[in-house]
Structure 1
Amino acid sequence: MSDVSDTKKSPRLDINAFRDRKAGDCSGQSMEVPPVYRLASSDSTGAQVIGCALNGDNYLTWSRAMLIALRARNKLAFIDGTLEKPGDDDPLRE
Protein backbone atom coordinates (compact mmCIF):
# COMPACT_ATOMS: atom_id res chain seq x y z
CA MET A 1 0.00 0.00 0.00
CA SER A 2 3.00 2.29 -0.04
CA ASP A 3 2.13 3.43 -3.57
CA VAL A 4 -1.13 4.92 -2.28
CA SER A 5 0.48 7.74 -0.32
CA ASP A 6 1.11 10.86 -2.39
CA THR A 7 3.69 12.28 -0.02
CA LYS A 8 6.04 11.03 2.64
CA LYS A 9 5.06 13.88 4.95
CA SER A 10 3.20 12.91 8.11
CA PRO A 11 -0.47 13.93 8.27
CA ARG A 12 0.10 15.20 11.81
CA LEU A 13 1.22 18.59 10.55
CA ASP A 14 2.45 21.20 13.00
CA ILE A 15 2.35 18.74 15.89
CA ASN A 16 5.26 20.53 17.57
CA ALA A 17 2.93 23.45 18.23
CA PHE A 18 0.93 21.16 20.52
CA ARG A 19 3.79 19.71 22.56
CA ASP A 20 3.86 22.48 25.20
CA ARG A 21 0.10 22.41 25.77
CA LYS A 22 -1.63 20.30 28.38
CA ALA A 23 -5.03 18.72 27.85
CA GLY A 24 -7.66 20.98 29.37
CA ASP A 25 -5.36 24.01 29.25
CA CYS A 26 -7.59 27.09 29.15
CA SER A 27 -4.90 29.71 28.76
CA GLY A 28 -6.91 31.69 26.24
CA GLN A 29 -5.49 29.99 23.16
CA SER A 30 -7.43 27.22 21.53
CA MET A 31 -5.65 23.99 20.74
CA GLU A 32 -5.79 23.24 17.03
CA VAL A 33 -6.49 19.59 16.25
CA PRO A 34 -4.69 18.19 13.16
CA PRO A 35 -7.09 17.52 10.26
CA VAL A 36 -6.55 13.76 10.38
CA TYR A 37 -8.14 13.65 13.86
CA ARG A 38 -11.17 15.80 13.02
CA LEU A 39 -14.56 14.22 12.58
CA ALA A 40 -17.20 15.53 10.23
CA SER A 41 -20.92 14.95 10.53
CA SER A 42 -20.62 12.32 7.79
CA ASP A 43 -18.08 10.29 9.83
CA SER A 44 -20.64 8.40 11.89
CA THR A 45 -20.33 4.66 12.46
CA GLY A 46 -23.54 3.98 10.57
CA ALA A 47 -22.57 5.92 7.45
CA GLN A 48 -22.03 3.91 4.29
CA VAL A 49 -18.49 4.64 3.09
CA ILE A 50 -18.66 2.86 -0.28
CA GLY A 51 -21.45 1.43 -2.39
CA CYS A 52 -20.17 -2.11 -2.87
CA ALA A 53 -19.95 -4.88 -0.29
CA LEU A 54 -16.82 -7.03 -0.12
CA ASN A 55 -17.23 -10.58 -1.35
CA GLY A 56 -14.82 -13.17 -2.74
CA ASP A 57 -15.01 -11.88 -6.31
CA ASN A 58 -14.67 -8.10 -6.01
CA TYR A 59 -11.65 -7.47 -3.77
CA LEU A 60 -9.86 -5.19 -6.26
CA THR A 61 -12.96 -3.07 -6.88
CA TRP A 62 -13.76 -2.91 -3.16
CA SER A 63 -10.21 -2.06 -2.08
CA ARG A 64 -9.88 0.71 -4.67
CA ALA A 65 -13.23 2.20 -3.64
CA MET A 66 -12.23 2.02 0.03
CA LEU A 67 -8.87 3.72 -0.61
CA ILE A 68 -10.56 6.53 -2.53
CA ALA A 69 -13.16 7.00 0.22
CA LEU A 70 -10.57 7.02 3.02
CA ARG A 71 -8.33 9.45 1.12
CA ALA A 72 -11.28 11.77 0.46
CA ARG A 73 -12.14 11.81 4.18
CA ASN A 74 -8.48 12.31 5.17
CA LYS A 75 -8.45 9.01 7.13
CA LEU A 76 -6.13 6.90 4.96
CA ALA A 77 -3.20 7.60 7.30
CA PHE A 78 -4.83 5.48 9.98
CA ILE A 79 -4.47 2.31 7.91
CA ASP A 80 -1.48 2.85 5.60
CA GLY A 81 1.08 3.39 8.37
CA THR A 82 1.88 7.07 7.75
CA LEU A 83 0.22 8.33 10.94
CA GLU A 84 2.71 8.43 13.78
CA LYS A 85 1.69 7.07 17.16
CA PRO A 86 1.22 9.93 19.66
CA GLY A 87 3.83 10.11 22.40
CA ASP A 88 3.05 9.59 26.08
CA ASP A 89 3.26 13.35 26.73
CA ASP A 90 1.20 14.30 23.66
CA PRO A 91 -2.03 16.12 24.65
CA LEU A 92 -3.78 14.50 21.66
CA ARG A 93 -3.21 11.04 23.14
CA GLU A 94 -6.17 11.44 25.51
Structure 2
Amino acid sequence: MIDCPGCGVTLPKQQILLGYSYNASAKCYEQYSELTAYTLSHTGDDFIHQHVVDVYAAQHSGNGMKIFTTVFALIGLYYAIERGYNGRQVQRVHTLLARLKHP
Protein backbone atom coordinates (compact mmCIF):
# COMPACT_ATOMS: atom_id res chain seq x y z
CA MET A 1 0.00 0.00 0.00
CA ILE A 2 1.13 3.55 -0.66
CA ASP A 3 -0.20 6.97 0.29
CA CYS A 4 -0.74 9.41 -2.57
CA PRO A 5 1.48 12.45 -1.88
CA GLY A 6 -1.17 14.78 -3.32
CA CYS A 7 -4.48 13.77 -1.80
CA GLY A 8 -3.34 11.30 0.88
CA VAL A 9 -5.51 8.36 -0.20
CA THR A 10 -4.01 4.94 0.53
CA LEU A 11 -4.10 2.66 -2.50
CA PRO A 12 -2.25 -0.47 -3.66
CA LYS A 13 1.26 0.25 -4.89
CA GLN A 14 1.62 0.11 -8.68
CA GLN A 15 4.78 -0.42 -10.68
CA ILE A 16 3.67 2.17 -13.26
CA LEU A 17 5.99 5.09 -13.97
CA LEU A 18 4.36 8.44 -14.60
CA GLY A 19 5.85 10.38 -17.52
CA TYR A 20 5.40 13.70 -15.74
CA SER A 21 5.35 14.91 -12.18
CA TYR A 22 1.71 14.79 -11.07
CA ASN A 23 2.33 14.78 -7.30
CA ALA A 24 0.32 11.56 -7.23
CA SER A 25 0.86 7.89 -6.74
CA ALA A 26 0.62 5.80 -9.89
CA LYS A 27 -2.59 4.12 -8.70
CA CYS A 28 -4.21 7.45 -7.82
CA TYR A 29 -3.36 8.81 -11.26
CA GLU A 30 -4.65 5.61 -12.88
CA GLN A 31 -8.00 6.01 -11.12
CA TYR A 32 -8.13 9.68 -12.14
CA SER A 33 -7.53 8.62 -15.75
CA GLU A 34 -10.42 6.15 -15.56
CA LEU A 35 -12.68 8.85 -14.13
CA THR A 36 -11.73 11.33 -16.85
CA ALA A 37 -12.49 8.74 -19.53
CA TYR A 38 -15.92 8.31 -17.96
CA THR A 39 -16.63 12.05 -17.67
CA LEU A 40 -15.49 12.74 -21.23
CA SER A 41 -18.07 10.23 -22.46
CA HIS A 42 -20.86 12.45 -21.08
CA THR A 43 -22.12 14.90 -23.63
CA GLY A 44 -24.11 17.91 -22.66
CA ASP A 45 -23.79 21.49 -21.61
CA ASP A 46 -22.79 20.75 -18.02
CA PHE A 47 -19.36 19.35 -19.04
CA ILE A 48 -18.72 17.66 -15.69
CA HIS A 49 -15.24 16.75 -16.87
CA GLN A 50 -13.99 20.27 -16.09
CA HIS A 51 -14.92 19.92 -12.43
CA VAL A 52 -13.08 16.60 -12.17
CA VAL A 53 -9.94 18.12 -13.69
CA ASP A 54 -10.06 21.13 -11.35
CA VAL A 55 -10.68 19.05 -8.21
CA TYR A 56 -7.87 16.64 -9.02
CA ALA A 57 -5.44 19.46 -9.81
CA ALA A 58 -6.28 21.23 -6.55
CA GLN A 59 -5.93 18.02 -4.51
CA HIS A 60 -2.56 17.22 -6.06
CA SER A 61 -1.05 20.68 -5.94
CA GLY A 62 2.60 21.04 -5.03
CA ASN A 63 5.80 19.09 -5.64
CA GLY A 64 6.46 19.59 -9.33
CA MET A 65 3.05 20.87 -10.37
CA LYS A 66 3.02 24.13 -12.27
CA ILE A 67 1.70 27.05 -10.22
CA PHE A 68 -0.71 27.98 -13.02
CA THR A 69 -2.28 24.51 -12.78
CA THR A 70 -3.10 25.12 -9.14
CA VAL A 71 -4.27 28.69 -9.72
CA PHE A 72 -6.59 27.70 -12.57
CA ALA A 73 -7.96 24.78 -10.55
CA LEU A 74 -8.80 26.99 -7.58
CA ILE A 75 -10.35 29.65 -9.79
CA GLY A 76 -12.43 26.99 -11.53
CA LEU A 77 -13.61 25.57 -8.22
CA TYR A 78 -14.48 29.06 -6.97
CA TYR A 79 -16.69 29.70 -10.00
CA ALA A 80 -18.30 26.26 -9.71
CA ILE A 81 -18.98 26.34 -5.98
CA GLU A 82 -19.48 30.01 -5.18
CA ARG A 83 -21.02 31.18 -8.44
CA GLY A 84 -22.80 28.00 -9.56
CA TYR A 85 -21.05 27.79 -12.94
CA ASN A 86 -21.35 24.54 -14.85
CA GLY A 87 -18.26 22.92 -16.35
CA ARG A 88 -18.67 24.59 -19.73
CA GLN A 89 -18.83 28.02 -18.08
CA VAL A 90 -15.75 27.26 -16.00
CA GLN A 91 -13.95 26.11 -19.13
CA ARG A 92 -14.76 29.48 -20.71
CA VAL A 93 -13.29 31.28 -17.67
CA HIS A 94 -10.11 29.20 -18.06
CA THR A 95 -9.94 30.10 -21.74
CA LEU A 96 -10.30 33.82 -21.02
CA LEU A 97 -7.65 33.68 -18.29
CA ALA A 98 -5.24 31.81 -20.55
CA ARG A 99 -5.48 34.60 -23.11
CA LEU A 100 -4.32 37.22 -20.61
CA LYS A 101 -0.71 38.35 -20.78
CA HIS A 102 1.29 37.23 -17.77
CA PRO A 103 4.36 39.22 -16.73
Larger relative CO (CA 8 A, sep 6+): 1 or 2?
1
The answer to whether the superposition gives a TM-score over 0.5 is no
TM-score (norm 2): 0.26
Bigger Rg, structure 1 or 2: 1
